[in-house]
Amino acid sequence: MDRSMPQLEFRWASWLRVLRFPAPVKERPTREDGGLTAWCTEASNDLALPELARKVRVVWNPRMQTTAGRAWWPDRTIELNPKLRDCQPEELWRTLKHELAHLVAYERCGRRHIDPHGDEWQAACTELGIHGEKPFHTLPFKRRRIKRNHSYICPNCLGIIHRVRPIQRTVACYDCCRKFNRGGYHERFKLIKYKPV
């Protein structure tokens, strides 16, 4: 009993040291676009949504690859792909209005669940001047191709499975295990490394 007490005190002392000297918080550089944010604020005020107008922000997200834009409802933030700057200005404005329509639809519906591209969103798009908006874009953003270098074959059904990473443990063909062994693993369905010719 006496031996455990100093260890307990020692642990608390180390925690106090952590609490007393917390790590400095690194501020992420802001990529907010003031002009687009001001336009969204004005549009929200025109639609009689003062809370949205007060909190809406538009930022450029350099991590976006193929997505043109994204709307975050609780934060009331619109993220745009920086590649939109290279496109026609009409595409930038259409994407901005598309994402703002999401925020408008969520703002009006409150806590009620709505479909992301449902009737409420379509109505908001019409009010923002993009009637008949599609839920996807056709912009020429290049996709990153993932190379699947590891192939495995099922000895039973001869189905080939391609993977990006090698399999580290024993794995069997899911379809064959379900069909012939009631979903349980069996050695005869174990995947074998396969090198295509």
Which residue among 75, 96, 127 closes a domain?
A: 127
What are the pLDDT tens digits along the chain (197 aa)? 444 444 444 455 555 555 566 666 555 555 899 999 999 999 999 999 999 999 999 999 999 888 899 999 889 999 999 999 988 999 999 999 999 999 999 999 988 899 989 999 999 999 999 998 888 887 877 777 788 899 999 999 999 999 999 999 999 999 999 999 998 999 999 999 998 77
Question: pTM of the predicted model, to two decimals?
Answer: 0.63
Which residue among 92, 127, 162 closes a domain?
A: 127
The total of structural domains in the chain comes to: 2
Claim to verify: residue 43 and residue 110 sit in the same structural domain: yes
Residue 165's pLDDT is what?
A: 93
Residues spanned by the domain of 121: 34-127
DSSP 136: S
Claim to verify: residue 84 and residue 155 sit in the same structural domain: no
- Confirm whether 112 is domain-assigned: yes
User: Which residue blocks in the chain are alpha helix, DSSP H?
Assistant: 4-20, 34-46, 50-55, 89-109, 119-127, 174-181
- Confirm whether 15 is domain-assigned: no
- Confirm whether 142 is domain-assigned: no
How many CB atoms lie under 10 A from the CB of residue 149?
A: 10
- Confirm whether 29 is domain-assigned: no
Which residue among 92, 112, 127 closes a domain?
A: 127
Q: What are phi and psi of 87, to 5 degrees?
A: -85, 180
- Confirm whether 20 is domain-assigned: no
CB 152 within 8 A of CB 160: yes
The label of the residue with tokens 């007060």 reads 54
Claim to verify: residue 46 and residue 101 sit in the same structural domain: yes
For position 110, which CATH number holds?
3.30.2010.10
Burial 34-56 (b: 16+ CB within 10 A, else e): eebbebbbebbeebebeebbeeb
- Confirm whether 88 is domain-assigned: yes
